[in-house]
Structure 1
C-alpha cells in the first residue's frame, strides 16, 4: 500500500485540470493526506450560497493546485464564481494588496452598474464554525465616499458588504496602520503588517483594466479645468520629480483617490499657463478631456476624451510597471504572478466572439507581448488565431498526439482567447522550438514564418493549389503578387492586383481555398510599388478557379475565351477580368483598338453548363498585416459587423531600458476603418490618405499582407458561452 504523509492545516485552490471526484478549477480545499507521488486527498469547501460544512473532495494533483493561507482561502471562498476567484488570483499585486488591507484604506469597488470609492471599515466573518474543519468566509464592510472625498451622509443604514473580487483598486490610508477588526471585536485585532504603499496592478489575465475604464467614465469631472483642479500630487514630497519625456508612461491621482494612467504626448507651456505642463493621452476615455486640444489650440492628436493637460509636477511614473515603493523609473519591472496565467485544460478555447472582443482585448498589456524583434511573429499569430475560425484546425487535434511545438502553439492560442494576453516568455519558448536561431533573435518576414508555421508546426497541406500555364500543379501557403506597375493605372484594389497577377502569370486556383493570404508587391520597409492600396473587403475569385464555368462578360452565356489585354480597357470596366463566349469574343476583338489582343481559350469541364446566375466564389477580409520602418502591426476584424475592427501593436510602448525593461503591447478599437471601407469603391479610389484618420492611413499606406477566409467559416458564434 502506498505510503501517505499527514500534513498540517494546508489550504489550496485548484488552478487547472479536469474535475476529479468533486475537485474542479477554482474550488477551494484543505489537504488531509499527501502521497509521495504528488497526489493529495482533501476536503472541498463550498462558497457563496453553497457555504456549509466541507465535503470529501477526493483526489487532486499537487501541481494542479496553488497554496493559500487561511486568510486568503477565506477571502476567496466568499467569491461564489470560481472563474472570478482565478481571475483575482492571477492579478497577484491586487490580491496581495486586498489581503493586506487595513482599516480606513481607500478602495474602489464595483457597485451596481458603476464603480464607487469608499473606506474599508470592517472585515466581516460570514458563517458559523461548528467544528474544526469549518472555514468561514470573509468580506469587507465599505463606507462610500461622495465625489468630494467626503463620507456618505447615510450613516444610519447598514454598510454594504463586498467580496475581494468586487475591489478593483486599493489605496493605503495616510493615517498609519490600525489593523482590521472583526465585527463587534469578538476576535480582536488582526495586527496586520503595516503598508507604506499599495497599488493595484492590472496583471496578465485580469479584467481590471476594463473595469477601470468604466470607472473613469463616471461623470465626476465634466470639464478640463475641473480635472486640473482635482489633480493632486501622488508622489511623496520627499521624492524628487522624475524627469519626463515624450513617450513616458505616467499616472495622475485626483482628489477623490481615482488614478488615471497615460502616455506623455506633449511637453511645454500651454497658452495662458506658466511652468512646465504635460499633455497626456489617457488609457481610457474620461468625461471632460479633449482630443489633444487645449484652450482652442491643438497640441497633439488622439481619440476624443483622452487628452488631459496637467502640470508636470502632478505626474508620477506609472506604478503598475514599477516594483517596490521607491518610485524609481529605473526599478526592475514587477515580476509576473506565480499563479499560472491560464490553465492547461485539454478543452480548447474557441475564437473570441464579437460580443467579448472589446472587453477582453482593448487596452494596454493586451494581445501578445513583443520581445527581441518578434513583431513579425506576434502580428501574424494574432491575426490568424484571435477571432477567425478558418485556421482553427489547431484546436481540433487530440493534445496527446501532437508534437511539443504544436502543444506550445496551442497554449499560446488558448491563453490569447481566454485571458486576452500572452506574455513574451510564452512566445520566446515557441520561437526556440522553431529550430532556427534566426527565429529567436532576428526580424523575419511573415511569409517565411507562415510557411514554417503551417508546414512544420501544424503539418498542414498547402493552403493554395495553383495551376500554371504548363498545366503543372503547385502548392503554396501565400500568394505573392507579381506584375509590372505599368499594368495598373491609378490606385489599385486588392481585387485588381490579384486578377492582374493571375492573368499575367497564367495562374488559376485548382479549388476554392479556405484561407487566402495575398502578399502585396513590396519588399521590406523600403520599397513598395504603390503609395497606397485600397483593401477589398470581399474578394471574388470565381473567374480565377481552374475549369470552373464562367459567364461571358457581355451576354452571360458560357464563356470560352479570356483576354489579358482587355483587363485594363477603359471602355470595358477597367480592372475586371474579361471572358467571352465565341460570338462576343469575335465581336469585341473585331474593334480596331483590340485587334492586337491575344485572347486565350478557357479550359472548361466538358459537362459544364451555364446556369443563370452562376454561383460566385467569394472570400472575406479578416486581417491585414502592415509594416512601417521594419515594424509589423496588424488590423483584425473580430466580428461580422462592418465596424468591428481592432488594431494590434505588440511593441506599442516600452518600460525601462534594454536590459531591465519590457515592451507594452496595446490594442485599440478602430471602427473608423469600417466606416471608411464601407464607402463605394469609386470614392475609396479618390481618397487622400493624408486626410484620413491615423489608423486608416496606416493601413492604406503600410499594408503588406491581406488575409481572406471562406465566408462559411468566419467568426465565432457571438452567443457562444464557454462551459
Structure 2
C-alpha cells in the first residue's frame, strides 16, 4: 500500500484546507491511500461501500491510522472517514469514540477500513464518452502538461498570449454549450470566482467540494495558467453534473447554456442567485421578454432590456455583481429580431427598487424640477457574448476591462484532426474592432448593409447569432472580492 504521510510535531494544530476547519493532525493522519479496487483514494474522493448487502455512496473526508481505542477489528488498519449521501441511525457526525476527525451532518459520518472503499462507479467515464479525447495533447501545440492547477489563479491579463490554436477549452461530444459558457465566465473575468472558493456549508450536497475542485483545479485554473483545458477534464465535470442534477444527458446530448447554469449554479453548487427582485424572486439569469416593435431594425440590448422590464414591471432589489441576459430567441429556430446589437454598457438605474426613473429628455429625476440633481447612474459593463448558429455555441469575450480592452472569439471545435477517431482543436482569435462595431457611432454603417452575408463574418455572428450577454458591475465585484479574499488564501 502506497501512503503519503504528514509529519507535524506532536500536538501541533494545522489547518486542513479541504475542510476549512482547525483539527488536530497526528503523525498517523494520511493524505491518500489505496482502496479495495486498487485505485488511489484521497480526501474528497467519491466512493461506494457495501453495507449489509446494499451499495451505499459517500465522500472521503478523512484518512488515517485507526486510533488505539478503536474496535479490535479496526486496529492496525488504515481507516476512511466518509460523509454518506443518506442518513443511517448507526452513523455519527464525524466523531469516533468521542473524538472528532471531520465534520458532517448528524447520522452521515461512517468510519471503516479504506480497503472497503471503491471508486464510485456512477462517475466512471464510459469509454464511448471518451472516444476521440487524446491522453496527451497533440505534439507541437505547446500545451503545458500541468493539467491540475491548485490555488487561486487570477484571470488572464494578456489577450495576445491566449490567441492561437490549441487555446481555450477543447470541445468533445456536443460540449460546445458548456465550453463557450465557461470560457465566457472565467477566462478574462473574476466575476464568477466566488463559486470557486465558497466553503462548503451544511446545506450543500456531499459531493460539493468534488464538483468545486474539478471546476477550479482542472478547468478554470489550467485555463488561466496554461491557456488550455483538455476535453477529458470537462467530461469529468459533465459526468458529475449529469449524475447530481436533474438535467439529463449532459455528457453526450446537445444542451443550452441556461441548462448548464441551472445544473451547475443552482442544483449542484447551491450558489446564491445573482439577481434579486423586489418581489422576492431570485434568478441566475434574466430572459428578455419584450413586445416586438416592428419599427426597430437594429435594437440594442439596452432598448430590449428597458422594454422588457417596463412591460413586466420588474424591479431589481440591488445591483447584481453579474447580469446574464438571455436574448429573445428560442434556440436555433426562432429569433424575434434578425439582428440585435449588444450594448457595451448597460444602464440599469431605472429598474432598481426605490430609485426614481430619470427623465429621458433632460436626464434629471422624473417629475422633479429641472434643476434637481440627477440620480447616480448604475452601469454594468459587457464582458462576453455567447452566440449560436446551426446548434453550435461560440463566444466573444472581452480581454480585460475598460472601453479600450480588446476582444477575442473562441470556438472549442474550430478545427479537427484525425477524422472520426481524432480530436477537436479549440482556437482563440483576436478581433480588435468589436468595440467599434458595437458602438453607437457604427449603427448607421451596420444599417447600411442590408444583407447579413455582406457583414464581416465575426460581426455577422455577433449581431445575428447572439444568444446570451454577460454584464458585470465593477463596483459590486470590488466589494465582493474584499469579502472573499480570506477564502482564496486557504487555497
- Settle same-fold status: TM greater than 0.5: yes
Counterparts of residues 82-93 of structure 1 (less than 5 Å): none
Does residue 707 (structure 1) correspond to residue 467 (structure 2)? The answer is no
- Give the structure 2 partner of residue 405 of structure 1: 211
Residue in structure 1 matched with residue 300 of structure 2 by the alignment? 493
- Counterparts of 2:380 and 2:338 in 1: how far apart (Å)? 25
Which of 634, 646, 664 is the equivalent residue of 2:408? 646
1:64-98 deviations in Å (ceiling 9; x for gaps): 9xxxxxxxxxxxxxxxxxxxxxxxxxxxxxxxxxx
Distance 1:625 1:690, change over 3 A: same
How far apart are 1:638 and its partner, in Å? 1.1
**Number of the residue aligned with 1:696:** 459
What is the rounded CA distance, in whole Å, between the counterparts of 2:340 and 2:200 in structure 1?
41
Other-structure match for 2:317: 510
**Deviation digits for residues 512-546 of structure 1 (CA, Å, limit 9, x no counterpart):** 11111111111111211111111210000111112
Residue 485 to residue 38, structure 1, CA distance change in 2 (3 Å) = closer
> Is the CA contact 2:316–2:351 (under 8 Å) kept in the aligned structure 1?
yes
Q: What's the CA shift for 1:403?
A: 2.1
Alpha-carbon distance in structure 1 between the residues aligned to 2:310 and 2:275 = 17
Aligned equivalents of 1:404, 1:488: Cα separation in 2: 51
Partner deviation per Cα, 1:249-287 (whole Å, 9 max, x = no partner): xxxxxxxxxxxxxxxxxxxxxxxxxxxxxxxxxxxxxxx
In structure 2, the residue matched to 1:414 is 221
Structure 1 residues 676, 63: closer, same or farther in 2, change over 3 A?
Answer: same
Query: By how many angstroms is 1:709 displaced?
Result: 0.4
Backbone CA RMSD of aligned residues: 3.7
Q: Does 1:454 align with 2:270?
A: no
**Aligned match for 2:168, one of 334, 349, 367:** 367
Partner Cα distance (1:634, 1:38) in 2: 40
Q: Which residue of 1 aligns with 2:177?
A: 376
Deviation at 1:673, TM superposition (A): 1.6
Q: Is the 8 A contact 2:188 2:398 kept in 1?
A: yes
The structure-2 alpha-carbon separation of the partners of 1:63 and 1:680, relative to structure 1 and needing over 3 Å to count, comes to: same
The TM-score with structure 2 as length reference comes to 0.63
For the residues of structure 2 that align with 1:203 and 1:399, how far apart are their CA atoms?
37
For 2:280 and 2:183, locate their aligned partners in 1 and report how far apart those are by CA, in whole Å.
Answer: 31
Cα deviation code 1:392-439 (max 9, x no counterpart):
113433599952111111121111111101101000010000025411
Change (3 A) 1:534 1:38: closer
* Conserved 8 A contact 2:364-2:375: no
User: Hey, what does 1:96 align to over in structure 2?
Assistant: none
Tell me: CA distance 1:536–1:510, structure 2 relative to 1, closer, same or farther (3 Å). Answer: same
Q: Do the aligned partners of residues 518 and 487 (structure 1) sit closer, same or farther apart at CA in structure 2, a change above 3 Å counting?
A: farther
Look up the SS of the partner of 2:302 in the other structure: helix
Tell me the distance in 2 between the aligned counterparts of 1:706 and 1:483.
16
Q: CA deviation at 1:680?
A: 1.6
Residues 525 and 551 (structure 1), Cα distance of their counterparts in 2 relative to 1, 3 Å cut: closer
C-alpha separation in 1, matches of 2:342 and 2:440: 11
Quote the offset at 1:684 in angstroms: 5.7
Deviation at 1:389, TM superposition (A): 1.7
Distance 1:694 1:552, change over 3 A: closer
Matching residue of 1:231: none
Number of equivalenced pairs: 348
The 5 Å alignment of 1:429-468 reads 429-434=236-241, 435=243, 436-467=247-278
TM, length-normalised to structure 1:
0.44
Structure 1: segments with no counterpart, 5+ residues: 5-17, 21-36, 40-61, 65-199, 207-338, 560-579, 585-609, 717-723
Matched, 1:529 2:336: yes
SS at the partner of 2:433?
Answer: helix
Local SS of the residue matching 2:293: helix
Contact 1:454 1:460 survives alignment (8 Å): yes
2:405 is equivalent to residue 632 of structure 1: no
